[in-house]
Amino acid sequence: MIALLTGDDQFAIRQKLEQYKAELDPQWLEFCYHRFPASALEQAISAARTPSVSGGKRLVVVEDCNLKQWGDAQLESLQQLAQVPDSTMLVFLATNVDKRLKIYKHLIKYGQCFELSLIPPWRTDLIEEAISEATAKLNATQAKRMKLRLPKDVIEYLAEAIGNDMIRVASELRKLETYVNGQPIRLVEVQSLIPCQTQSNLQLAEAVRHGEREAVVRLIDELLARSEPVMVMVATLLTQFRTWLWVKSAILSGIKNNTEIAQICNVGNPNRLYYLRQEVATMPIKSLIQAVTKLVDLEMAIKQGYVNANSILPFLLAIVRLFQPVQSK
């Protein structure tokens, strides 16, 4: 089995790897489970071609493969994929890939591509569904008296408080499971245990679009002080500004029906258009285009390791300036 796992949902990717790992003989795990960097492709394929010493399955993982860093030498190494035995699970991990690449097409010739992307933050319905599924999976491993039962209002709050960070969802559900010890739980208790962090990210987006420099600096300081991941901050901003851009573009193109705009702009709840229309009314389309472009560039720079928490502020302040009113002389 050869697989390419690509996307930004690290939790889903980790679960997929755990699923593969569970197929190995635990007594031979040290000899049957291998991880290699992308720079060690030849060694990884050599390990994958070698039959397992246990006679069972072998798992070989090749990390950080964006495929663009590989050339003719690596493509030649990949010709050996046909010789990988069925008992070996050879898994390539990539944040994103260019499907036009010759190397990608060669990989897919022998294996499958699984795209595991984060749920868009505005799709609260899908986030609530994912939280319910995660709760069900957690309960499946527990005795009946220890099961975690979450009322609808609690699930709705968790979707708002945590957003699409499924790694944190899993962590917070385990916290709640320990706290309730099989007893019912109320919304007020959950609110005291799990602070709403996504709201601060949305407040950051609001401060940016209003050109409020001081508020942006304060919110970033607060978010970083509580160890909010930079990628989560930027992903929330990008999602919000992309939605504003799409809605503004739809309105300027002459579309008037809110349901139609919601469908075009991937807005789950058409009633949200009432507020989105007000938000984009004074936002220049040119500024929105520049903001989304800068945020996409910033997201890529973070993924490639060029930008970290200590250097994010200048990038965001450059976007803030796009929405500050022009001072008359």
* pLDDT (0 to 100) of residue 292: 95
Which strands, in side-by-side order, build the sheet including 88-94?
A: 33-37, 58-63, 88-94, 2-6, 112-115
Q: Which residues contact 286 (CB under 8 A, 6 or more apart)?
A: none
* pLDDT (0 to 100) of residue 214: 93
Q: Which residues contact 202 (CB under 8 A, 6 or more apart)?
A: 236, 240
> What number of other Cβ atoms are within 10 A of residue 245's Cβ?
20
> Distance of CA 239 to CAs 159, 211, 287, 288, Å?
16, 18, 16, 12
The one-letter code for the residue type at 63 is E
For the chain, which domains are there?
Answer: 2-115 (3.40.50.300), 124-193 (1.10.8), 209-323 (1.20.272.10)
* pLDDT (0 to 100) of residue 144: 64
pLDDT means over runs of 10, the chain (329 residues): 88 90 88 90 90 85 85 85 90 86 87 85 82 88 75 89 86 90 88 78 89 91 83 88 94 91 82 87 94 93 84 92 71
Q: Which two tokens stand for residue 156?
A: 């709705």
DSSP run (H or E) holding 303: helix 285-303
Helix, strand and coil in the chain, % to nearest 5: 60, 10, 30
DSSP code at position 326: P
Phi and psi angles of residue 88, each rounded to the nearest 5 degrees, phi first: -100, 135
| Dihedral sign of CA atoms 62, 64, 70, 73 in order | negative
> Distance of CA 270 to CAs 28, 191, 276, Å?
54, 28, 10
pTM of the shown model: 0.60
